[in-house]
Amino acid sequence: MAMTSACWGLVGCVAVATLGCAGQHAESLTPTRIRVSVGLKGGYFDAIGQALAETLRAEEQNYSVDVQTTSGAVGSIEAIEHGQSDCGYSYANIAYEAFASRPPDAPASLKQLRSVALVQISPLYFLVGHQSSVRSVADLRGRAVAFGLPESGTFRAAMMVLKAYGLGPQDIRIREESFRDSFASIQQGALDGMFILSGQPSDGVARAAGGGARIVPLVGPEIDRLREQYPFFRPSLIAAGTYPAQDTAVKTVGVETLLLCREDLDAGQVRRVTRAWFIALNRLVNDGLMSEAVSPKVASAVPIPLHSGAADYYRARQLLPE
């Protein structure tokens, strides 16, 4: 979902307008502590969560924002559900699975989850070493593959992709390790392939590509069937020149990133978080730290219900989908 100049004109207008509104019609909220879960330290969610926290703190000096790391996208959702966090970032596939049904490792559906905004379509990167003979996911049979830890969004998305190619855990050698270690292993030739679901651009992918790693497309009839079965997989394009030695565009699939909160969080707090997010988003895009971001006009088109405070924000600005 590439951003046009018109869309970002809207973001700018929203940011300016909302800052003005904040000055003229400040919400009568008692300053309080808010906790934002961001997955692993130094990761994609951590970067955008820090931007949100900075914006929230700037609005009110004594407004306390704690950025909390978790075990991954699944851990962030569970922290919100169980009251250990107030807001956080995760992926649409995990959020929908958690809200509408049951994650395999959870005793019940997580009904406290509510949406604040769609954030970005995060590409699923399939990386191999520069001398690797792997040209497709089908070539991974019997090889060493890494895709993070079981509580990561990448792990679950990659397992679905492997299944689409007729591969299961018994058909590959799974390396459960940190993404930092996997990037190093790919560059050293000690790993046959790795997957990572991350925002674009990704510092880790850039370093790996600079060290000779190659991004393999995720296209073809297997991927088409995958998208039919799981609509939360969206087409994604990694534009030519996004990463070192990447001379051509790479087609892949991606998953939407969500900003989430807990249902019982005060509506005024959530309006404040929603407003601050779009201000932070505007800065992230202008600074080149985020692309493929979702504009405020469509950010409310979420797979699980909006929090009433976020819905109020969109409704006041006529940004709810018709």
CATH of residue 30 = 3.40.190.10
| 222 and 165 part of one domain | yes
| 128 and 200 part of one domain | yes
Residue-wise pLDDT tens digits, 26-48: 444 455 789 999 988 888 899 99
Boundaries of domain holding 34:
5-121+256-316
Flag whether 161 is in a domain: yes
Residue-wise pLDDT tens digits, 259-283: 999 999 999 999 999 999 999 999 9
| 260 and 112 part of one domain | yes
pLDDT at position 303, please?
A: 85
pLDDT at position 51, please?
A: 94
pTM recorded for the entire structure: 0.78
Residue 248, judged by CB atoms within 10 A of its CB (0-12, 13-18, 19+), counts as: exposed
| Residues of the chain with confidence (pLDDT) below 70 | 1-31, 100-109, 292, 321-322
| 161 and 234 part of one domain | yes
pLDDT at position 104, please?
A: 52
Flag whether 322 is in a domain: no
- Show which of 234, 255, 276 is a domain's final residue: 255
pLDDT at position 232, please?
A: 84
pLDDT at position 59, please?
A: 79
| 234 and 312 part of one domain | no
- Show which of 203, 225, 255 is a domain's final residue: 255
Flag whether 72 is in a domain: yes
Flag whether 321 is in a domain: no
Flag whether 305 is in a domain: yes
Greatest CA separation found in the chain?
A: 63
Flag whether 109 is in a domain: yes
Number of domains in the chain: 2
Q: Please give the C-alpha separations between residue 106 and each of 78, 84, 85, 209, 277, in angstroms, as whole numbers.
A: 9, 16, 17, 37, 29
pLDDT at position 13, please?
A: 43
- Long-range contact set of residues 242-249: C-beta below 8 Å, sequence gap at least 24: 242/200, 242/201, 243/201, 243/205, 243/206, 243/209, 243/210, 243/215, 244/206, 244/209, 244/210, 245/209, 245/210, 245/212, 246/209, 246/215
pLDDT at position 4, please?
A: 40
| 102 and 218 part of one domain | no
pLDDT at position 275, please?
A: 94
Q: Are 215 and 246 contacting, i.e. CB atoms less than 8 angstroms apart?
A: yes
